[in-house]
Copies of this chain bind each other. A is one copy, B any other.
Amino acid sequence: MRLTAFSDYSLRTLICLAVRGQSTIADISRVYGISEAHLTKVIHQLGLAGDIETTRGRGGGIRLARPAAAINVGAVVRRTEDLALVTCMEGGACLIAPACRLQTALKEALEAFLAVLDRYTIADLTAAPALVRLLETA
């Protein structure tokens, strides 16, 4: 069970911008050692979702479009993840699907997972002084 790189990069981009303020794709790519190509898609989606904004021209870059305390971690994951834990959840054929309690149990477990993430904002994730030091000096 694994989050996609897309979710992982989305959350880490938001964390980076929350601490470093305005930044660039090249900068975030360097900080985390992840590809600019992947990051470009992530940035585009975060922009569409209204979490970040791009400022143009000399001295332009990317920054959070709203306070880190207003960006909910659960909301980001719900948006970036395919939450069909097993193929039947996305319509795959299985003989027992019409009466399956495994699917019910997995949905309940998934809701519990997301409910925990709903309790966190990007501001909560960036409150540690040690994290701020790591990102500010990177």
Q: List residues of A whose CB falls within 8 A of some B CB.
A: 1-4, 8, 11-12, 15, 31-33, 73, 81-87, 93-96, 98-102, 105-106, 108-110, 112-117, 120, 124-128, 130-131, 133-135, 138
Q: Tell me whether B15 and A98 are in contact (CB under 8 A).
A: no
Indicate if the CB atoms of B73 and A105 lie closer than 8 Å.
Answer: yes
- Are A130 and B94 closer than 8 Å at their CB atoms? no
Is B8's CB under 8 angstroms from A98's CB? Answer: no
- CB–CB A131/B101 < 8 A: yes
Residue among A32, A105, A134, A135 with the most chain B CB within 10 A? A105
Q: Interface residues of A: mostly helix, strand, loop or mixed?
A: helix
Copies of the chain in the assembly:
2
Residues of B within 8 A of A127 (CB): 101
Residues in B with CB closer than 8 Å to A109 are 112-114, 116-117
* B135→A82 contact, CB < 8 A: no
Q: How far apart sit A138 and B131, CA to CA, in the bound complex (Å)? A: 56
User: Could you tell me the distance between the alpha carbons of A124 and B105 in the complex, rounded to whole angstroms?
Assistant: 10
Please judge, given known A-B contacts A1-B1, A3-B85, whether A125 and B98 are in contact too, CB under 8 Å. Answer: no
Assess the B95–A138 pair: CB atoms within 8 A: yes
* Interchain CB contact (< 8 A) of A33 among B32, B93, B101, B135: B93
